Copies of this chain bind each other. A is one copy, B any other.
Amino acid sequence: MPKVTKKELKRESLLNQGVTMLMGQGYHGTGLQEILNAANIPKGSFYNYFGSKENFGAEVIQHYIDPFITQLAAHLQQSETDALSAIRRYFGELIVELEKNEFKGGCLLGNLMGEIGDSSEICRKSLQFAVGRYRDLLQSGLAKAQQQGTVRSDKTTEEMADLLINTWQGALLRMKIEKSSVPAKQCCKNLLEDFFKP
């Protein structure tokens, strides 16, 4: 595989810092300069990597969801675990991470949907694409679980995946203001261990 250039390293550093800071302070609450300071990149250089802050935001969104998709896919690919258990384990791991992080941040997708979902068309589309990618993977996991007989068959897996994602998003918002992982745990218990069961 081709060697990663210095430019690509810097670009990725910007994206990583962008994820961290937009999660903590939101899109408009975070100035470019703060991100550039953290990534040690001068202002003028930023525009070699990204056309604008808005374009940068759209790419931060994709950069954010990538590891979640990788992690969920890895769970689903484990052949010795049934799909529903894989999904439960995946969310279990997320909850452990959120507790470690003292309930801060939540989900960047949810945060930005709320903040700039109406005001940035570029970011709205990036969010829609990211949520779609994530939801499609969850849906394929639920479909597998249906085949394995561990999930109810009278509801479409699209609808169940949507419900799961929406409830999870709402639970993470509650988590932030109540500083507790109880909402996230209840989401998993009520849907994955109750409502979705045959």
Contacts and interface: CB of A to CB of B under 8 A. Distances in A.
A171 B167 CA distance: 8
A38 interface: no
Interface in A1-38: 24-29
A12 to B, nearest CB: 24
A27 B111 CA distance: 12
A114 B195 CA distance: 27
Interface in A145-165: 159, 162-163, 165
Given A111-B114, A166-B170, A170-B170, 18 more contacts: A24-B118, A26-B26, A27-B28, A27-B29, A27-B115, A113-B173, A114-B176, A128-B178, A131-B177, A163-B190, A165-B170, A166-B171, A167-B170, A168-B170, A169-B169, A169-B174, A170-B171, A195-B195
Interface of A: 24-29, 104-106, 110-119, 124, 127-128, 131, 159, 162-163, 165-171, 173-174, 176-178, 183, 186-187, 190, 194-195
25 contacts: A24-B119, A25-B119, A26-B27, A26-B28, A26-B115, A29-B115, A110-B173, A113-B114, A113-B177, A114-B176, A115-B115, A124-B176, A127-B177, A131-B177, A163-B167, A166-B171, A166-B173, A166-B187, A167-B170, A168-B170, A169-B173, A170-B170, A170-B171, A194-B195, A195-B195
